């Protein structure tokens, strides 16, 4: 009896710690970003499974939506209304590519990396063409360079 109570206590402590450890991040939708017009800020964000990301419609006329083939298996696609905030809690590890529907083709895209990006090759292959594809290529390069720097 004592042992089962101890076990339950330990279990509850774990659940509580996980809840407490979940972090929150902001990604802003902007008309004028740090390196150009129509950008998410930050464009590349690394989080841990269970963390929440608030996509904030700071400037109107934008939205955020995941791109088919650029999210891990088992993850739920997400999409916001134009000009609305959206909070996404990322539970499934992997890379998530997303875009603004009106401006994705102009390069208004971004990546959220949740824990281990096991679907990186698939996400790269599914990236959009044109300016969006070039932007994604840049973000994947930054991701690579950070990984190299950590070694
Ligand atoms: Cu936009």
Among residues 57, 27, 37, which one has the least CA distance to residue 135?
A: 37
In a domain, 13, yes or no: no
In a domain, 8, yes or no: no
- Is there a contact between 88 and 55 (Cβ–Cβ < 8 Å)? yes
In a domain, 40, yes or no: yes
Q: What separation in Å is there between the alpha carbon of 29 and the centre of ligand 1?
A: 7
State the CATH number of the domain containing residue 106. 2.60.40.420
Element (H, E) at 72: none
CB-side neighbour CA atoms (13 Å) of 130? 8
Residue 3 has a pLDDT of 62
Q: Residue by residue, what is the 3-state secondary structure of the chain?
A: CHHHHHHHHHHHHHHHHHHHHCCEEEEEEEEECCCCEEEEECCEEEECCCCEEEEECCCCCCCCEECCCCCCCCCCCCECCCCCCEEEECCCCEEEEEECCCCHHHCCEEEEEECCCCCHHHHHHHCCCHHHHHHHHHHHHHHHHHHHHHC
In a domain, 51, yes or no: yes
Q: What separation in Å is there between the alpha carbon of 102 and the centre of ligand 1?
A: 5
Q: What separation in Å is there between the alpha carbon of 73 and the centre of ligand 1?
A: 26
Query: pLDDT tens for residues 56-84?
Result: 999 999 999 999 999 999 999 999 999 99
Residue 17 main-chain phi, psi, to 5 deg = -65, -40
In a domain, 100, yes or no: yes
Give ion ligand 1 contacts, CB < 5 A.
Answer: 62, 100, 103, 108
Q: What separation in Å is there between the alpha carbon of 59 and the centre of ligand 1?
A: 9
Q: What separation in Å is there between the alpha carbon of 30 and the centre of ligand 1?
A: 7
In a domain, 98, yes or no: yes
Q: What separation in Å is there between the alpha carbon of 118 and the centre of ligand 1?
A: 28
Split into its structural domains, the chain has a count of 1
Per the structure, the complete domain to which residue 121 belongs is given by 22-150
Query: pLDDT tens for residues 133-148?
Result: 999 999 999 999 988 8
In a domain, 1, yes or no: no
Q: What separation in Å is there between the alpha carbon of 133 and the centre of ligand 1?
A: 16
Q: Mean per-residue pLDDT for 71-99? A: 98
Q: What separation in Å is there between the alpha carbon of 55 and the centre of ligand 1?
A: 12
Residue 109 has a pLDDT of 98
Q: pTM for the full model?
A: 0.85
């Amino acid at each position: 009896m004592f042992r089962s109570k101890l076990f339950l206590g330990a279990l509850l402590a774990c659940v509580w710690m996980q809840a407490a450890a979940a972090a929150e991040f902001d990604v802003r939708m902007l008309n004028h970003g740090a390196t150009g017009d129509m950008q998410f800020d930050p464009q590349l964000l690394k989080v841990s499974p269970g963390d929440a990301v608030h996509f904030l419609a700071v400037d109107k006329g934008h939205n955020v939506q995941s791109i088919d083939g650029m999210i891990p298996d088992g993850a739920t696609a997400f999409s916001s209304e134009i000009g609305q905030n959206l909070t996404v809690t990322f539970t499934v590890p992997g890379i998530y590519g997303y875009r603004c529907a009106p401006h994705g083709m102009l390069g208004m895209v971004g990546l959220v990396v949740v824990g281990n990006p096991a679907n990186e090759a698939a996400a790269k292959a599914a990236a959009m063409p044109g300016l969006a594809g070039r932007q994604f290529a840049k973000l994947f390069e930054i991701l690579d360079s950070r990984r190299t720097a950590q070694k």
